[in-house]
Structure 1
């Protein structure tokens, strides 16, 4: 009996030590992003532990410290200071989008993996620099989108690949809300979210990236042949320096995508419609999916699916990040998190901005 108890203790101790060895030390770069609560409120798990934060705005850091309970002792002024003191294995960027490049520049040479909030960068030029650093130093650079967690999107792609609605012809993706100021984002977030340099644009980048990301996934990494975009500024009093409404049209050999990113939707939304030669799939929200199959001219059958959240690790972006770094998960090149996908996203966004500014259709090199 004593030997049995000792064996159990040894086994448990070994498992505990192994778990500690596999626990990633995570640094957080910036606290101004409205999504930073995702990591600050994350329940303690064995895959990852937050060990440092970079935020020069101490008033903001103090405020969030009181709200989420982290110690101000782990808050640093610069990336170099944090890296030197706590030696993270990975960093999650939660500052402005322009800062993504400087975060990767600080991390890549030291072999530190990075996950950024969408989109990957503000410009294609910055994205190309990030890609070059990632390849040179052999680090993972992931981009996080809320829609990556939607089981409905996964189910929709599965139905499409199974031929349920026939050959794909058109995709319509709508994303957005009433606008940053109207929904009450923090002043720190609003300051850069409506800055054309720090955010890369307005709604065209903030929400246009979702559709570009999903469409690149659907097309298995294939680039569109052309990109055409128009933008408007419907709330000049709230968004004086950037667009707040856009329509982006992507054409492929046999398919077309219409992306409708906007800060003027009366109701917040992130939905997708897939139209094929036999029917349509409606990904209404994270949990509801509808499939319509054509019958005659205008009749159809419709089936509704109510789905649960995605299974681990896909229900949590930080679990995905940890699994990729630990080698437990290998992403396909066109996966929504993958750098290859998000380089195509940046080509699309850059072309969309250029199209809206010049009033012309942009041809992409394939």
Structure 2
């Protein structure tokens, strides 16, 4: 009798869970812009992955009709979803949140329009083109109590989260001493990005800089996270135009050095790598941990005679993809992750702003003399 009751109880739990999952409404999302090719991630999730219930794209704001038609044909969504402006899309589609895949310089405009309506915003990295614009965005987000997140591919790497745990939770490598982050690829034109993407990515006004902002933001984000949102004491940056014939307006090579009281970070952002890479080296007093890609790692601890391979699981990351995480966050099922948080990304923007200034003047920029972002 008891066994039968136990089976019935377990069965009822499964039914309750299945019912809850089936009745939970997906997050109503509006897409702002199609000119950033990271948009393929959300379009693929919404229109090609059967059974996904995290999000529903209810509207797309894109003034370039030909571009919208091209994506509509590729992904099979109706052109009735497309509106020529953000305001019209918000008025008609009424999303709960938006994901911005426009130019970085337009992130501020998106927040200016969405925040007063109480609509949450996720932008692609980096947060903005300047620290001043970022402060305006932060003020609006705080005033209107919206979530303002920045999406980095590396946030969803299980290897980065396992490395963070080894450094900060397990204390496996001793006190942190040096962080080296490598990000980039052969160059946006070389890898064949779309013309719509290339036009603004290589524009210093629309993107903030070249490789310095495009890929330097990853290292600033990860370093700030590993350092528990501690602002560096100073920033030194060097940029180059190795391919001025291809990228005449912006840098294609950038190196940023961040100094902390007892730690140093070196960020190597490049459109000149022989292949695409997003990896990191973290050194402590007694060991090191390297991330090779999203799951593979290399580790050597104090008691190890040689380096050994390690593997991270996808579940080490806070979610399987940014949009599933965004939905859970808005629905109150999770709390903001430090890597995507506004606090972290305000420091990232302060670092990038200082790096751009340092590269221009050839001088170290001390952040200790700059106003705190908090």
Taking structure 1 as the reference length, what is the TM-score of the superposition? 0.92
Q: Return closer, same or farther for 1:353/1:11 CA change in 2, 3 Å cut-off.
A: closer
Partner residue, 1:305: 310
Report the aligned-residue RMSD.
2.1
Shift of the alpha carbon at 1:331? Answer: 2.0
Distance in 1 (alpha carbons) for counterparts of 2:260 and 2:111: 32
State the partner residue of 2:100: 93
Question: CA 1:311/1:294 → structure 2, altered by over 3 Å: closer, same or farther?
Answer: closer
What are the superposed Cα offsets for residues 169-214 of structure 1, whole Å, 9 maximum, x if unpaired? 0010000000000000000000000000000000000000000000
- Is 2:330 the partner of 1:325? yes
1:166 offset after TM fit, Å? 1.2
In 2, the alpha carbon distance for the partners of 1:114 and 1:195 equals 24
> Would the aligned equivalents of 1:178 and 1:268 in 2 still touch at CA under 8 Å?
yes
Contact 1:312 1:319 in 2 (8 A): no
Residues 12-35 of structure 1: CA deviation (Å, up to 9, x unaligned): 997477413xx2210000001011
Shift of 1:267: 1.1
Residue matched to 2:320: 315
Q: In structure 2, do the counterparts of structure 1 residues 275 and 16 end up closer, same or farther at CA, with 3 Å as the change threshold?
A: closer
Distance 1:310 1:238 in 2: 40
Shift of 1:312: 7.8
Structure 1 distance, partners of 2:320, 2:29, is 19
Match of 1:36 among 39, 62, 74: 39
User: Could you tell me how far 1:310 is from its partner in structure 2?
Assistant: 3.1
Structure 1 unaligned regions, length at least 5: 1-6
2:86 pairs, out of 75, 79, 100, with: 79
Q: What CA distance in whole angstroms lies between the structure 1 residues aligned with 2:285 and 2:16?
A: 57
> What are the ranges of 5 or more consecutive residues in structure 2 without an aligned counterpart?
1-11
In structure 2, the residue matched to 1:263 is: 271
Structure 1 residue 293 displacement after superposition: 2.7
List structure 1 runs of 4+ shifted beyond 6 angstroms.
10-14
Which of 229, 238, 243 lines up with 2:246 in the alignment? 238
Q: Write the distance in 2 (CA, Å) between the matches of 1:120 and 1:176.
A: 18
- The offset of 1:152, in angstroms, is 0.6
Q: What's 2:4 paired with?
A: none
**Residue 361 of structure 1 pairs with residue 364 of structure 2:** yes
What's the offset of the Cα at 1:329? Answer: 0.6
Q: CA deviation at 1:47?
A: 2.4
**160 and 60 in structure 1: CA distance in 2 versus 1, 3 angstrom threshold:** same
Q: In 1, are the aligned partners of 2:159 and 2:316 still within 8 Å (CA)?
A: no
Taking the TM superposition and a 5 Å limit, the aligned residue runs for 1:201-216 are 201-216=209-224
Shift of 1:313: 5.5
Count matched residues: 353
Local SS of the residue matching 2:108:
helix
Deviation at 1:307, TM superposition (A): 2.8
Determine the C-alpha separation between the residues in 2 that align with 1:320 and 1:269: 24
2:148 alignment partner in structure 1: 141
